[in-house]
Amino acid sequence: MSGLFLQSCMGQTPEPAGSAPPPVQGIGKWQSRAPLPAARSEVAVAASGGKVYVFGGMGPSAGILRRVEAYDPVTDTWEQRADLPVPLHHTSAVSLGGKIYIVGGFSTAGVVSGVFEYAPDANLWKERASMPTPRSALAAAVIDGKIYAVGGVTGFGGNNIAALEVYSPAADSWEVKSPMPTARDHLAVGVVNGKVYAIGGRLRHTFSSNLNVNEVYNPVTDAWSTRSPLPTARSGIAGVVLQGRVHVFGGESPAGTFVDNEAYDPANDSWTRFAPMPTARHGLGAALIGDTIYVIGGGLSPGSTDSTANEAFSL
């Protein structure tokens, strides 16, 4: 199979921007779908009830948005939903128990620790217990009814955060767990077989310091270990699990934005290069419905740019 990466090294340092070989055509196919109504990047995206929800982000002229829109893949149409309680970008979103949870990010007041619960059926918001550590450009994942908030940064050019904090919606409370070995922001995460894989990212909010790090957390032992690194060091990425692999989409560096779609298989600790995105971008969001990943929004060039891209990937 072409495009298979068997990595034996355990790199954990920044790689030079633009050093990766150009993407080649790989496995899978892409389809363009109805564009996002409001152009934006640095969005949070989650799927619930057969629809994909896009939260907040940065719009034209770097405005911070409260906007929420829902995409229906069956009808290929969008619908505007109730706004976020506060404007947010560089936040994270996860779906759990028929609700969607928005965690951390930047607002008009700076980095926040807030958590908001959205009920898609009622189209209503509810504030929940805040994270112990305020942060933005973090990643979040779900295991066994709890939300794992990973990494982040204290602000533009600020200090990186290694924190792993776990939220229980049932108890509306947080618990502090073992921090990541490599503190970073703008990373992607995915859950396979009850473990969290934290992949890529950058140092101090600077995309000239992209990382290829791949570290896995085991909730049973509350311990981290290192796995085969991301072939293309990048940040401002999105991660989604499909058929037991963690797909990592897009990203940015000083040389430009990425079309890369590389997927990690924990079963053999290896990477495969899949069909690249039609539209290179960073600050994008992605979610899975059925056997299709919807990759939405994002900036077309490095920095504060945006798009209405909505592209669907399937095998």
Is residue 15 scored above 70 in pLDDT? no
Tell me, rounded to whole angstroms, the distance of Cα 215 from its chain centroid: 15
Which residue has tokens 């009830």?
49
d(C-alpha 202, C-alpha 235), whole Å = 6
Q: Which pairing describes strands 110-119 and 51-55: parallel, antiparallel, or unpaired?
A: unpaired
H/E stretch holding 81: strand 77-81
**Domains contained in the chain, CATH given:** 26-314 (2.120.10.80)
Tell me the pLDDT of the chain averaged across its residues.
Answer: 93
Which pLDDT value is given to residue 14?
44
pLDDT digits (tens, 9 = 90+) for 113-124: 999 999 999 999
Which pLDDT value is given to residue 24?
54
- Enter the tokens of residue 288: 């899975």
> By the 8 A CB rule, do 101 and 85 touch?
no
pLDDT digits (tens, 9 = 90+) for 204-230: 999 999 999 999 999 999 999 999 999
Can you give the length of the chain in residues?
Answer: 315
Q: Which residues contact 139 (CB under 8 A, 6 or more apart)?
A: 92, 149, 150, 151, 187, 188, 189, 198, 239
Which pLDDT value is given to residue 62?
67
CA angle in degrees (0–180, nearest 5) for 268-271-272: 115
> By the 8 A CB rule, do 298 and 286 touch?
no
Which pLDDT value is given to residue 61?
72
Sign of CA dihedral 145, 237, 241, 277: positive
pLDDT digits (tens, 9 = 90+) for 38-80: 999 999 999 999 999 999 999 987 689 999 999 999 999 999 9
Is residue 131 scored above 90 in pLDDT? yes
d(C-alpha 304, C-alpha 184), whole Å = 20
pLDDT digits (tens, 9 = 90+) for 289-309: 999 999 999 999 999 999 999
DSSP 131: P
DSSP 160-191: B---EEEEETTTTEEEEEPPPSS--BS-EEEE
H/E stretch holding 218: strand 214-218
d(C-alpha 205, C-alpha 137), whole Å = 8
Q: Span 188-200, mean pLDDT?
A: 98
Which pLDDT value is given to residue 11?
37
Which pLDDT value is given to residue 60?
87
